[in-house]
A and B are shown apart, each in its own frame.
Chain A
């Protein structure tokens, strides 16, 4: 066995100290060395400000942050997930994901794209936790299964739950990516066999920001990270812990098919005349009226399209529990625990129908028995209990 190579320890390779203090170059310095002039830099900063959904008055603050702050260390962990939050993240164009990884963030740990594996990878996490407590952003994709002692997601022989709690204990902020981390997503759909649990339900000692969606739109993801980098705080959150700047409006509020909704013109079945004319997808189960996300505002994949734009209703993928609100193509929910098709309608009609039948039967028997004889004088039964009006 070759002996010198035995001694190679990755972290001690010349010129490659694994971690230095947080004194690296700033985004501006990196961009400058990248051949970017100041005008272009200012444009970049303005673009990022818009990305964050902020007004132009914030540009100086963003410029200042990008000029003076070193890249923020990010520890990206993956629990039970499908990794499409990562996939969505790498689709980012504003800013380009290459710039995000090289110039804005220090993506110190990200199992899907990092080079080191095994204990070399684990070492990075340990060092971050011990060397930079309170300085790194913990970004979580997926969630932790709590059933059976957490064995449904293991990494490095430990449960994900265990690793997550440890990493979160020293994090500055916790970002919960996607519906998985913020609300449980598909693995938490009934009967949630692994007891998959959203991150916010496990971490209570520090703020968790829920960047919901399945997956979230890339610009929302980079926008949130830029915000944190710029202001060193979390943006304002809604009642579900989602950043208001991206999750304040319903899909329906900014949908380009809204005119058809108001007009009462709907697609009645797939690929019918209405579908070809772009009528509203309400009757095809569109969840736009009850879904808070950025899709109808910003669209997907550089504005190419978005679910409703391509003829399918919104599934409601940024809402907790949307998997159990199905069937997706139906206007009204089945609640799986009851599991009657379109149950509010069905249950409602059955109950109202039963009442009508009951009343009808009562009326029929009253008439048949001739029980009610309005013309006859009513016999007086007793004289007791007569009380005056107050």
Chain B
């Protein structure tokens, strides 16, 4: 069955009551690109970060022949900058992109957002399928905001502050160095950076699981949507999140 991408109309339904899917263009290119850049860089950051925190394997032989920690740190810093750029790009697209690009924002001043939040939570807990959102549901949006936007910003800021120590007279130090004393000194900042890394990982676990579950339960093409940009919906779904306004 061919998939049409335009929205349902009453005529569509009248013509074919069994009509199953329509696909909506949701994730524009920058959202998709930044999504995967973010996904890859966070993965690299977490793995290299874990090694930095606790270097579990050690090479044999002369020190000058090895550079294990050195590489881990270099990869971490490179991934860190890539992540930061990706974060900024996505932040820009929040304003420049389509409505779905803004749909993740927790609109806690709107009763509709709260309703959607509880509604979605209950659906997940009761293992029930509810209407499909094309953009983010309130719960998903909230978790991205906390898990990626806020934690990501914290990691970027603390990471850059820690990084700025390598060049005490450099511009990075002037820009971000003040964060170290502000947050209780570099040792504490390292600890917070590490703690937050685990929270980021927690988000990733929940995110990946919920993506698989949601995609299977709602049959909304969630996973492929992050590649193609299109998500599926069915007659009767709320194709646009009502609380978005």
Choose the segment among A19-27, A52-60, A263-271 that binds chain B (4+ C-beta atoms closer than 8 Å).
Answer: A263-271
The answer to whether B238 and A344 have CB atoms under 8 Å apart is no
Choose the segment among B35-43, B152-160, B186-194 that binds chain A (4+ C-beta atoms closer than 8 Å).
Answer: B186-194
B191 proximity list for chain A (CB < 8 A):
332-333, 335, 343-344
Interface residues of B in 214-245 (CB under 8 A from A): 216-217, 219, 234-240, 242
Query: Is A120's CB within 8 Å of the partner chain B?
Result: no
Query: Is A162's CB within 8 Å of the partner chain B?
Result: no
Number of interface residues of A (CB under 8 A): 65
Minimum distance in angstroms from A262 CB to a CB of chain B: 4
B240 proximity list for chain A (CB < 8 A):
387-390
The answer to whether A356 and B205 have CB atoms under 8 Å apart is yes
The answer to whether A325 and B188 have CB atoms under 8 Å apart is yes
The answer to whether A347 and B177 have CB atoms under 8 Å apart is no
A135 to B169, CA, bound (A): 33
Query: Is B13's CB within 8 Å of the partner chain A?
Result: yes
A382 to B237, CA, bound (A): 8
A388 to B64, CA, bound (A): 64
Nearest-CB residue, chain B, relative to A241: B181
The answer to whether A331 and B234 have CB atoms under 8 Å apart is no
Query: Is A287's CB within 8 Å of the partner chain B?
Result: yes
Nearest-CB residue, chain B, relative to A325: B187
The answer to whether A290 and B124 have CB atoms under 8 Å apart is no
Query: Is B54's CB within 8 Å of the partner chain A?
Result: yes
Minimum distance in angstroms from A329 CB to a CB of chain B: 14
The answer to whether A351 and B202 have CB atoms under 8 Å apart is yes
A264 and B197 contact, Cβ closer than 8 Å, known pairs A290-B185, A332-B53, A362-B213: no
The answer to whether A250 and B165 have CB atoms under 8 Å apart is yes
Nearest-CB residue, chain A, relative to B7: A388
Query: Is B63's CB within 8 Å of the partner chain A?
Result: yes
Minimum distance in angstroms from B130 CB to a CB of chain A: 8
The answer to whether B184 and A321 have CB atoms under 8 Å apart is yes
A151 to B16, CA, bound (A): 89
Interface residues of B in 162-177 (CB under 8 A from A): 165-166, 168-169, 177
Minimum distance in angstroms from B121 CB to a CB of chain A: 12
Query: Is B199's CB within 8 Å of the partner chain A?
Result: yes
Among B63, B184, B194, B234, point to the contact of A259 (Cβ < 8 A). B63
Residues of A within 8 A of B (CB): 239-240, 244, 248-250, 253, 259-266, 268, 282-283, 287, 289-291, 316, 319-322, 325, 331-333, 335, 343-345, 347-349, 351-352, 355-356, 358-359, 362-363, 365-366, 369, 371-372, 374, 377-378, 380-390
